Every structure is written in structure tokens, then in C-alpha cells.
């Protein structure tokens, strides 16, 4: 099961989701996944009236969701962002 990594001050910046090197909290690919998640939330909210947390849960449970998006959604759920 996926576990978000802890961020230690002073340590080389690594993606908190996959551990790959990056210049931010998450790597480029997971950052792209997060952007997509936020973009599509607008569609979901308009079509279903769903809230952010509920949306993330639905995305995680959906079998069509891409792996990177699923990992980003789990990360967002756990970090409550």
C-alpha cells in the first residue's frame, strides 16, 4: 500500500510520493497528475455536485484512473490538502 514519505529538512529534495528526485515536494510527473486532478474536479463538481474529499475518494476507487493520478489523490487525501 502506498505511504507518503516524510520530508526531512535539509535532505535532498525527493518526491514525497515516489521518492524520485525533484525540485519541489513532488516530482514533475506527480505534479502534472495533481494539476489534472484539480482541473477535472471542476467537471465532477458541475456534473455531480460532489465535494473535494469525496471527489478524491471516488477517483481513488475508480478503476479507470491512471496510476499517477491515483497516487497523487491518495497523497492529497492523506495530507488533507
Partner 1 sequence: MAHHLLVCEKPSAARKIAYLLGGRGVSRIGRRVPFYRFQKDGDTVTVVTALGHLYSPAQQGKGWSFPVFNLVWKPASRGRAKLFLVEIARLAREVDSFISACDYDTEGSLIAFMILRNACGGADARARRMKFSSLTRDEIVKAYENTSELDMPVINAGRVRHEIDWIFGVNVSRAMMDAFSCKTGGFEVLSAGRVQSPTLDALCRREDEIDLHVPDPYWIAGAEIRFPSNGERARAEYSRNPILRKGEGEDLRRRCEGSSGTVSRVEDSELTIPAPTPFDLGDLQSEAYRAFGFQPWRTQKIAEGLYLEGLVSYPRTSSQQLPPSIGFRGILTRLGTNDEYEEGVNAILEYADARGRLWPRQGKKADPAHPAIHPTGVKPKRLGADARKVYDLIVKRFISTFGPPARKSLRTIDVKLEMGDVFSVKAEAVSDPGWMEYYEPYAKARSSRLPEVAEGEEARAEKVWVEEKFTDPPPRFNQISLIRFMEKNGLGTKSTRAEIISTLYRRGYIAGSGIRVTDRGRGVIEVLRKRFPDLVSIELTRDLEERMAGIEEGREDYSAVLIRGADAIKGSFERTISEFEAVGEEISNLVNALREKGEKLGPCPSCKNGELRIVRSKKTGKRFVGCSNYGAGCSFSAPLPQRGAIRATGEACRMCGHPTVTVIGAGGRTDPWRVCLNPGCSSRVRR
Give me the residues that bind partner 1 (CB under 8 A), please: 29, 32-33, 36-37, 39-40, 43-44, 46-49, 59, 62, 64-69
The gap between the terminal CA atoms of the chain, to the nearest Å, is: 20
Strand partners, 14: 21
Residue whose CB is less far from partner 1, 15 or 33 = 33
Residue whose CB is less far from partner 1, 59 or 74 = 59
Instruction: In angstroms, give the least distance from the CB of 34 to partner 1.
Output: 10
Rg of the chain over all Cα atoms, to the nearest angstrom: 13
Amino acid at each position: 500500500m502506498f505511504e507518503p514519505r516524510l520530508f526531512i529538512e535539509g535532505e535532498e529534495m525527493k518526491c514525497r510520493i515516489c521518492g524520485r528526485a525533484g525540485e519541489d515536494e513532488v516530482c514533475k510527473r506527480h505534479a502534472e497528475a495533481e494539476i489534472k486532478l484539480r482541473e477535472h474536479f471542476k467537471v465532477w463538481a458541475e456534473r455531480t455536485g460532489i465535494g473535494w474529499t469525496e471527489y478524491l475518494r471516488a477517483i481513488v476507487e475508480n478503476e479507470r484512473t491512471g496510476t499517477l493520478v491515483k497516487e497523487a489523490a491518495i497523497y492529497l487525501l492523506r495530507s488533507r490538502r
